Each structure stands twice: as C-alpha cells, then as structure tokens.
Structure 1
Amino acid sequence: MKDIRLQEIATLAYRIFLAFFFYQIVRFLFWFFNKDLIKIDSVSDYFSLAYHGTAFDSTGILYVNALFILLSLVPIVINTKKYYQKFLFWVYFVMNGIAYGMNFGDFVYYKFSQARLTTAALHVAKHENNLGKVFITSVFEHPFVIFWFLVLMFFWAYLYKKVKINEMKPKNKWIYFSSSIVTLCITAILVVGGIRGDFKHSTRPINLVDANKFVKNPTQANVVLNSTFSFFRTIDTNNFEEVHFVDEQFIHENIHPYKIYLRENVEPKPNIVIFILESFAKEYSGAFNKNTKIKDFVSYTPFFDSLATKSLIATNAFANGRQSIHGMSSVLAGIPSLTDAFTGSPYANQKIQSIVSVTNELGYDTSFFHGAPNGSMGFLGFGNILGFQHYYGKTEYNNDADFDGMWGIWDEPFFQFFAKTLDRKKSPFMATMFSVSSHHPFKVPEKYKGKFKKGPLEIHEPVGYTDYSLKKFFETAEKMPWYSNTIFVFVADHTNQIAYPEYEKAMNRFAVPIMFFSPNPKYNLHGEITEPAQQMDIYPTLADLIGYNKPIRSWGRSLVSADKNYMVVNSDSIQNQFIIGNYIYRFDGKEVTGVFDIADKNLEKNILGKIKSPEIEKGILLCKAWYQDYMNRVINRKLD
C-alpha cells in the first residue's frame, strides 16, 4: 500500500485544503474592511456568498498550485526526502504568498476602484514609475493590511508543517510508477474541472460574470470573487467579439451611432478648455447635491459651487468607466469602458473621431496637460492616437520644486502654468487639463495644511485644494484676452472614497459632476439638466456648441440640443450597465441578466421576468443593439 503513495496524496489534499481555508479567512477580511460599500443583510447571506465563492477559490488556488501539485505527485522516488519536501515548501509558499497578497491589496484598492483586481491594473501600472513610492505610502497608511497578511501567512506555514511526510523508499517500483501515473491522470482531470468551474463540456469556464448568479445586489459579487481568480481570469483575455442580435436598420433607427447638430454662424469659433478632475466625484460638491436630500450634507468645493450658479450643470450624470484612462476616452472620444477596457484592448490604436479630431479639422490648436511624468496613466500614448498636437507634462513644466513627491506637479502651480501657456496660443484652441492632486495619498502642499476642510474622508482635503487651484486659475485666466470667448467644461474622471450612504449605491458609485461654463452669454450655458447624462455626452455637446455641422460618431448626445434620447452606459468590470428610460439594465454580453427600476440605484430588486412591459422589452433590445454596434465599430475599426 505504501507504494501507491497514500501518505503523499493525503498530505497534498491537506495542503490544498489549507489554501481553501485561508481564502475564506481573507474573503471575510476583505468584506469586513469594505462592509460600508458591500451590504450583506445577515450571517446566513454571508455564508451563502462564501459557499458559492468556493468555486472561484478553486480556480484561483488550482491556477497557482498547478506546479506544486505536479511536483508533489511526479514519480521521481525522492519525493519524500526532507530536502525535496523543503523545496516543495518554498514552491508552495512563494506561489501562494504572492497570489494571497493580491487579496490583501484589494482591502484598500477596492475602495477606489469598486472592483476586484484585474489585469486592467497592469495597463495603468505600466505607465507609472512611482509604484514603489505608492506601495510604501500605502503600507504606512494601512499597516493592518501587512499585519494581517504576515499573521495569516505565519499561521498557514505553522499548519502546513503540522502534517509531515515520512521518508520512504518504494519497494515495488512497477506499482509505484503505475499508480503514480493513474493518480496524476485523475488529479489532472480534477484540476482542469476545478479551474473550469465544473466538468460539463457544454458550459464555458466560470468568469467574473458568473459571480452575479448568487447575489442579491451586484456589489456582493465582489465577496463571491477573490482577487487571485479575477486577476488570472483576465490575463490575455480579449472579450471583444462581434455579436448579432438585431439588423443594422434597427441600430440606425434606434441607437443613432451618427448624429448631426446644425448651428448657424458660430464665429469666431470659441476656445474650449476641458478640466478632467481626478476623483472629483459628485458627492463632494454642494451644487450637485441640492436635490439629494442628504442630511447634514457638507460641500468641499466652494469655488466649484459658486461657478455652478453661472453654468449649465448636469446633476444626474455618470462616469462611463472606472479608471482615469477610461475617463479620458469617454470624455474626449465618447468611448466607454465595458467589462474589458477599450484603452487596454488590441483595438485602441486606430483612427478615432473625437473632439480632438473635430477641432483639429476646424483649425484649432489642440493640447493636453497633465502634471505627472510624461506618459503617466497612458495619457501621452492615447493622446497621440486622438491627435493632440501638443502634450504638456512634468517635463515641460520643468520645475521639480513643485513636484508633490508622488504623482506630479501640485495642481495650483500647474494650473497657473496651464493658463499662461494658453495665453501664448492663437485662438481658437482646444485644451484638456487632467488634474493630479486629488489622489491617493491625499496630501496638500505643506503651506496649505489646515486651510481646507478635512471632513471624514482623506480625499476631502485635497478636493478642497483642487477647488482652490481652480479658483486661482480663473483669477489668472479672466484677465487674459482669450477668456471671454471660451467654453469651459468640468467633469470628474471617476469617483473615489464615499462618505454618504446615497453614494454607496451601486449606480451612484459612478456619479460625477458635469458642468459647462462660458463668460460669453451667446452660448447660453445656464440651468440644470436633471435627466441622466454621462461623460460621453461632452464630446457631442461641444461639437454642437462650436457649430461643427457635420455627422459625428457618438453614443452620447448633445446636452444643449432637443435630443432627449439617452442611453447611459458603464460597467462594474463584471457586467455592463445601461440606464434607458425608466429602468436600469445589467447585460453580460449575451443576455440581459437584470432589470431594475431607475429609482433602485442599489440594484436590489431584479424585476426581470416579473414585470413585463413594452418599455422593458424594447430596453432589452436596445442594450443588445448598442452592444452589437459598439463591438462592430471597435473590432472593425469604424470609430472614425
């Protein structure tokens, strides 16, 4: 019996079981540190989520331990020797330690991304040269993450060593080798089944979308998932594929991928200045929360609020993505980020019609400003694709005395550089400023310590600083000759930390401010837009205001036109989300999986199949039609 290696098989099973045990512990800790964002009603609900998470744990654990399992069972006679077992120990804990650590990173990362770690993070990280600083800062700010990681890894190693393999030499090598081959074959089948999620040939391997099968609201899917699974499942994935749900005539009549806005005699052409404000969520601004009825609401943006009284504001607007680069593609080119980000796909490098190409065509000078090291966040590369004529970053600023030590030049001095650079340009110009300072690690310049409201969130103080930087920019710009004929746009790239329960709701995690301001009264940029709007609406609105008068490829709409047909689109990285009319739809790329009343911003009561109406049936068809058109245009390079 010894020659069929029962001792080694049992010990291997014990060691793999330990991984499952510790993944359940880290699942609980992940939820505990994010329980304000992920609501679970009862203990039984939590255990249900944890139980269903075992399938996703299996995939992650077996991915990571495939080599360890092979080395544990391969028939090489020396398997039970102490030095070989020590070698296995290090293989096991190096591989598992790295993978396990991903889950601890999500304790903090999730608060900013509202999504589990995926390879999309690599598309951002590859453009950064300050990751070491970011990591060290995060460690000092969140020591509990390292503490729990080390405690659990030591405890894991302790339990691992409690079960040892006694050294033995096979007596009957024919039995030893033949039984080993049988064991390896059976194990391989089990491992493949575990990685796939089941053994049915007819079903696809489980992916992030499948976590939604077991939840009461979509945010709970992040408890079912684990970071190891979500990272490995998105390696080398390209979920861009053509689909066919409807005919092209239906798309032409209902999706309107091309729009034209006719406006007479817009001369001279206005300058355009777009501020994409880092993490500047709707939650932080009083002007955009007048109707939310949040008790004891506090605003951290006094200048922004004052400017809003003289502007056209969209108070029910949403981001079309989750990361900064998604904000850039959504605002400037009207291209959202779905479960897979367009900007990280093989299709990003193509000719794209955008507000950049439109203004280039009209003879504008076009520039992009970002105070970080040139190329950070992928902005330089994507800016070149869009066709910006000039890029101004930390290099062009050329004064490291104003560097914040982490991300880039502080907003106040870089905004002044922005104004002065624009003053040297010939009108008309289109310039985009992507701010830096309202970002982790949430610092303000030393000279402004204590000047801005701190509030309950770390981000409140730097948001106040960015707001102050905007004020100083306008004090400078309004004295310049180009100012009087300029249209200013303000929008956040995405949301960030959350203080109020209203913004913990699944859809409101995408809630951003959108504001248009011009000192020139002829553009009539005043009032409030209360119906749903999105970042993708900015490009067609600007094309309308400057009198482009030609067809534009756009999934958004001009907010200053009579066009009231909207389809707000975004994704929580697991499924795509649409706001159409009176309902919110969740769509996995194949089928609509949920329909929710538009008032149900937390997506708690799925009425799919429970309430039937022509509007819902049409909405389901519109989701599919929009998705079909998106995939067709991205894959077949029809974005120009």
Structure 2
Amino acid sequence: MKNLRWQELLALVYRLFLVFFFYQIARLLFWIFNKDLIKVDGISEYFRLSYYGTAFDTTAILYVNSVFILLSIIPIVINTKKGYQKFLFYWYFITNGVTYAFNFGDIVYYRFSQARLTSAAIEVGKNEDNLGRVFWNSVLQHPFVFIWFTVIIVVWIFLYRKVKVREEKPNNLIAYFAYSIVVLCITATLVVGGIRGDFKHSTRPINLVDANKHVNNPLQANLVLNSVFSFFRTFNTNNFKLVHFVDEKFIEQEIKPYKLYEREVEPKPNIVIFIVESFAKEYSGAFNRNTTIKNFVSYTPFLDSLANNSLIFTNAFANGRQSIHGMSSVLAGIPSLTDAFTSSPYSNQKIQSIVSVCNDMGYDTSFYHGAPNGSMGFQGFGNILGFKHYFGKNEYNNDQDFDGIWAIWDEPFFQYFAKSIGKKQPFMSTLFSASSHDPFKVPEKYQNKFKSGPLQIHIPIQYTDYSLKKFFETASKQPWYQNTIFVITADHTNQIYYPEYQKAMNRFAIPLLFFSPNPKYNLKGVDNRFAQQIDIYPTLADLIGYNKKIRSWGRSLVSDKNEDYMIVNSDAINEQMIIGNYIYIFNGKEVTGIYDKSDLALSKNILSKNLNSEQKSGVEKVKAWYQDYMDRVINRKLR
C-alpha cells in the first residue's frame, strides 16, 4: 500500500521540481536579455536574488498546479492507470505551458513596460481587436523568445516522461483511503502555506512589494519576481484603500491639492496637445544638450529645431507606464500608482481636468486617435473627461492609410488633424499618436528615408518627428495658428540605448515642450527644474486665464509663485516621489528607501533611523500626498 502511494508522491514531487527548475531557467533568460536594465553585481548576487525568488515561484507554481496536485493524490483507485496518467500529463502541460509563457512575454515587453506583467494588461487588451496580429508580429520580431520557449517545453516533456507511475491496484482499500486522507491533509497545508508565502496566521500573503526586502536596488525586484506571480497576485485586487497618516490641515498646507492662478488673457488662446507614443527624452537632442552622453545621436531634427523657439523642460518625467496612464496624467493631472486609476473601480466619476476647464470657458474640445474607436480605452476615458468630439479610425474613414495593426499612419492622420481642428474657436484639441509603437514600422514609401539606429524604435521616431514637421507646415497656414499654444510630450518611454536612461528614475524621462507663434505668451527658454505630466493641466489652466480654483497635484510651470515640486510615479511595485533634494520609495504604508535626487539609478539607499529635518518632512509629505490621493479617488472628490 505504502509503495503504491509513495510512487505517486515521488512522481508528483519530481514533476513539481521540474516546474521550479524551469522557472529558474526563465528567470535566467529574463535577466540575460534585460541585464542592461537590471544591474546585478556578479553571479553570486544573481544566485542570491534567484534564491529569494523561489518564494514567489512557489506561490505562482502552486496557484497553477493546485488542481494537478489534487488530481495526482486524490484516492480514486484509478490514479496509476495509463489513461489517467495521460490525462494528468495533458493537464500539467496545458496549465503550466500557458502560464509559463507569461515569463517569456516579459523577456521582451519588460523593456517597454518597465514592470512585470500584471492583470492591468487585461484592461488594456480588452479594448483591442488586433491582439492576434500583435502576437504574431511579436513572434516574428523576436523569434529567439519563441525558439527558447519551444526548446524548453520539448526538454521539459522529455524529462517529465523519465519518471513513470506503474499501474497497480490497492490491496487494502481501507488502509489506502486512510493513508490518502493523511497525505491530502498534509499536502493541503503545505500548498496553502506555499501560496501565502508563510505558515504564520498573522502574516499576510506575500505580495509584489515583498520582493523589495531582498534587493539592493528597487529594479532588482523584477528579477526576484516572476510574471505568473505578478499577474495572479494583482488579479481582482484593489490597492486603492483609505489611509490616515496626517491631519487634513497638514495636507492643505503642504500638499496644496487646490491651486489658483490669476491671469488676464484675451482673446483666449487655442490649445493643441500632442501626446506622442513612446517619445522618450532619450531620442531628442534638444533635451540632452546638457547631458554628458558620449557620441549622443538625436532622432528628432524637427523637434530639436522647434525647441529653439519654445519653452522646454529638460528634466520632465512621465507619471505612468502605459498609454492610458499618460492620458489621465496629461489631461486630468491624475498619475497612476501601483494600480492604474484608469482601470480602477473609481475611474467613472466626474473629474476636473483641462477638458472640463476648457468646456467651462466655452472651448470646443476634441480628442484624436487614429486607432479603431475604443482602442486603448481612450474613447471611454475621453467621455468621462467630457470631450465634445472624438475622432478615430472610423471618422478618418480611409483604411488605405491603416498600418495594418494599430492605427492610421501618423503623417496622414496628423494632416487630417491639422485640417479638421479650429472650425470653432477657441478650441482645445488633443492628438494621441500611434506610429512609434511596436512593431516599429514606417510606411513603405519611407523605408529608406530615415537613418537607422541601434534600436528598432529609432526609425519610427524619426517618422513621427517628420509627421510633426508636416503638421506644423499645414497648421501654420490655418487662421487659428497664430493664437494657439502647442504642447508636445510623451505618454511614456520605451526602448533604451544609453546607460543614462537605464537608471530607474530616467526610465520615466520624457520631453516636455510648450510653443506658441504668438510672442505674448512668452513661451521660450530652457527650464532645468523637475517637471512632470501632471504639471501640464495646471500650466494650461494658468495660461488661458481660468482664474478659478483647480484640483491639481501638479503646479503651473509658468507661474511666478515658484511652487515646490512633488514628482510622482510608480514602478508597479512601489510609489516613487522626488521631493526637494531626495527621492523617496513608498510601499503604501511606509517609506522603504531614501536616495539623493542626483542618484537617479537608486543605487545608494540612505534611509536610516536618524533622518535629517528635510528627510523627516519629506517622509510626512509622501504619506500626506498618498493619503490625499486615495481619499480623492475613492471618495470621488476629483471634480
């Protein structure tokens, strides 16, 4: 009897061991292909991180294999029969194969998302009808990932079949079932403890933030984690929770969630906002003039020339990691933290934004995006913000200019934009571009027009820059042009080449440019202060003379009040804030890291028990800001 059950248990242990082994192989491949982004000080440190990663692997593996474990040991007498073992084989490889592939997807997309896969991907994907084309393009662009995955699965199957369960029948059914019940109870206890990450009743289940306990640099947490864990641990979770760290008076005095700017402006200027897909600061020479990057190459000649006659911010940061995060940050001043506001249960509420401000002032407001209507969630969120008009691929109505995957090519859509806006003034129009997106292609007629670079994105960035040039050539001939303020920024960053932009905070570095042909707005110069996407909304409200209080965590970049900055973003595990002379890492409960603001790589944590006065104040401001954010989002006070 014991021999019968033992052979089944040993086979189960062996099969689970294979899962653990191949998870470590996936982690190694993930690091090899992303080691320029995740710095590890030698092989010994890699093994240390991978050892701590075993706890997160355990949770993921037991999530996926809990049914397989039950089916392997449940006492149903037929366990050892060939047909049943064949059924277990298919169950094992279908469930593990599908979820294991998550790790291989992240080998590529970590370079774009800067975070492990989370369930937020479902929110993005549900708005798309081109996922099949995106998948096959990714396979064609990165065949090594598919090849490695296939080879590993073949080897995995080979090793699985090395240990077989002999067909036997129990001689004593009473002993068989009694022994099996004991095994089931012990196994259930081990599985529950493994999924939680601990057997202590007082300890909460491990989460993404726990990966930071074992790292010297926050970016290394993505090496400790695995994509299956991060996906399942964020599935159906809601990290939006009310907290209380400080009193409301402190928030009013130090966070100043309401701003008032008074300026007389007549006639009211038009506003055109370009949110350019993946248009990272790294690609533009105008925003790197003061850097010490050797042999720097710019891929934005037009933007560089426009910057000479614009007000530019050379130390600006994105407040999110995905396109929809950029939309909420730029237009509504709402950054995305560990969980994105736009995919939260609280996104459907009245929100004060530059859209509502312009609507209040009688502007004609519109949003343009060349993808199929509804893509990326833009149309839905645009309706929440109150855009009066939405123009997408449906309205463009010419599929000859469709790139075949995402949207209308930038050049023709920018021309459509230039000729469509301004029929009623004043107006505020936003265009979200699309062509500088994976799979990084340009129209066939431009295949040899642009110089190649070390990154795939360099050619489409030049194409989008060229499209901007053609837009301004057309726009400058329009009657509305002279009295228009233009804003150009990015939704988020993307592929990285220069080591300077591999630094943790510089993963969020974007260009920010304000331009107007009308000299009365005085939008010229180079400003090296820290700035961010959520500063755009209050800056525009100030420039158009709104003269009423606005709800804003950003500040006007053209105000003479010279307000303090609080730069906010998240690496999907922790919140990151730059306040004064320091960068603070916050996990929703406490500050776990403090870095000098010049340490954008987050290489030396100077957090200690003996904080100086500025650091103590900074910690309180971090908590106060987070408290106010949660309060306003959850209690629907964003109007």
Deviations 1:499-539 (A, max 9, x none): 10000000000000110000111111111221110000000
Q: Which moved more, 1:117-126 or 1:603-612?
A: 603-612
Partner of 1:197: 197
Distance 2:28 2:268 in 1: 57
Q: Shift of the alpha carbon at 1:125?
A: 0.6
Distance 2:562 2:242 in 1: 29
Partner of 1:79: 79
- The amino acid of 1:56's aligned partner reads F
Partner of 2:370: 371
Contact 1:338/1:576 (CA < 8 Å) preserved in 2? Answer: yes
Distance 1:452 1:354 in 2: 38
Partner of 2:115: 115
- The amino acid of 1:331's aligned partner reads V
> Is 1:252 aligned with 2:252?
yes
TM-score where L is the length of structure 2: 0.99
Deviations 1:436-483 (A, max 9, x none): 101111111111111112111010000000000000000001011100
Partner of 2:101: 101
Q: Shift of the alpha carbon at 1:611?
A: 5.7
Partner of 1:159: 159
Q: Shift of the alpha carbon at 1:610?
A: 6.3
Q: Which moved more, 1:17-26 or 1:604-613?
A: 604-613
- The amino acid of 2:605's aligned partner reads N
Deviations 1:78-126 (A, max 9, x none): 0010100000000100000001111011111111101111111111111
Partner of 2:460: 462
Distance 1:452 1:611 in 2: 54
Deviations 1:549-601 (A, max 9, x none): 00000000000012331100000001000000000000000000000001111
Q: Shift of the alpha carbon at 1:6?
A: 1.2
Distance 1:413 1:59 in 2: 49
Contact 1:3/1:170 (CA < 8 Å) preserved in 2? Answer: no
Distance 2:221 2:313 in 1: 30
Equivalent residues in 2 for 1:276-287, closer than 5 Å: 276-287=275-286
Q: Which runs of 5+ in 2 are unaligned?
A: none
Partner of 2:216: 216
Contact 1:58/1:195 (CA < 8 Å) preserved in 2? Answer: yes
Contact 2:271/2:427 (CA < 8 Å) preserved in 1? Answer: yes
Contact 1:4/1:175 (CA < 8 Å) preserved in 2? Answer: no
- The amino acid of 2:407's aligned partner reads G
Task: Tell me the secondary structure at the aligned position of residue 140 of structure 1.
Answer: helix
Partner of 2:523: 525
Task: Tell me the secondary structure at the aligned position of residue 367 of structure 2.
Answer: strand
Contact 1:3/1:176 (CA < 8 Å) preserved in 2? Answer: no
- The amino acid of 1:349's aligned partner reads N
Distance 1:251 1:528 in 2: 31
Deviations 1:187-241 (A, max 9, x none): 1110011011111111111111111111111111111000110001010000100
Distance 2:291 2:584 in 1: 23
Distance 2:234 2:360 in 1: 38
Equivalent residues in 2 for 1:189-588, closer than 5 Å: 189-264=189-264, 266-423=265-422, 425-561=423-559, 562-588=561-587
Distance 1:204 1:522 in 2: 58
Distance 2:216 2:462 in 1: 36
Contact 2:57/2:229 (CA < 8 Å) preserved in 1? Answer: yes
- The amino acid of 1:542's aligned partner reads L
Identity rate of aligned residues, in percent?
73
Equivalent residues in 2 for 1:129-148, closer than 5 Å: 129-148=129-148
Q: Shift of the alpha carbon at 1:2?
A: 2.9
Task: Tell me the secondary structure at the aligned position of residue 510 of structure 2.
Answer: strand
Q: Which runs of 5+ in 1 are unaligned?
A: none
Distance 1:39 1:163 in 2: 39
Deviations 1:582-635 (A, max 9, x none): 000000000000000011111010000066210000000000000000000000
- The amino acid of 1:469's aligned partner reads S
- The amino acid of 1:172's aligned partner reads N
- The amino acid of 2:553's aligned partner reads W
Distance 2:47 2:592 in 1: 23
Q: Shift of the alpha carbon at 1:134?
A: 0.6
Structure 1 610/289 Cα, relative in aligned 2: closer, same or farther at 3 Å? farther
Distance 1:386 1:178 in 2: 63
Task: Tell me the secondary structure at the aligned position of residue 451 of structure 2.
Answer: coil
Distance 2:449 2:615 in 1: 50
Task: Tell me the secondary structure at the aligned position of residue 634 of structure 1.
Answer: helix
Q: Which moved more, 1:296-305 or 1:448-457?
A: 448-457
Contact 1:2/1:170 (CA < 8 Å) preserved in 2? Answer: no
Task: Tell me the secondary structure at the aligned position of residue 568 of structure 2.
Answer: strand
Contact 1:3/1:172 (CA < 8 Å) preserved in 2? Answer: no
Distance 1:5 1:71 in 2: 13
Task: Tell me the secondary structure at the aligned position of residue 79 of structure 1.
Answer: coil
Q: Shift of the alpha carbon at 1:12?
A: 0.6
Q: Shift of the alpha carbon at 1:182?
A: 1.2
Distance 1:284 1:336 in 2: 23
Distance 1:478 1:195 in 2: 61
Contact 1:196/1:206 (CA < 8 Å) preserved in 2? Answer: yes
Task: Tell me the secondary structure at the aligned position of residue 5 of structure 1.
Answer: helix
Distance 1:325 1:313 in 2: 24
- The amino acid of 2:145's aligned partner reads V
Partner of 1:622: 621
* Structure 1: 4+ residue segments shifted above 2 A: 1-4
- Count of aligned pairs: 638
Distance 2:450 2:557 in 1: 33
Q: Shift of the alpha carbon at 1:3?
A: 6.7
Structure 1 394/485 Cα, relative in aligned 2: closer, same or farther at 3 Å? same
Deviations 1:266-289 (A, max 9, x none): 111100000000000000000000
Task: Tell me the secondary structure at the aligned position of residue 56 of structure 1.
Answer: helix
Q: Shift of the alpha carbon at 1:426?
A: 1.1
Q: Shift of the alpha carbon at 1:4?
A: 6.7
- The amino acid of 1:529's aligned partner reads D
Distance 1:201 1:583 in 2: 37
* CA RMSD of superposed structures (Å): 0.8
TM-score where L is the length of structure 1: 0.99
Distance 1:10 1:457 in 2: 48
Distance 1:294 1:531 in 2: 20
- The amino acid of 2:246's aligned partner reads V
Task: Tell me the secondary structure at the aligned position of residue 529 of structure 2.
Answer: coil
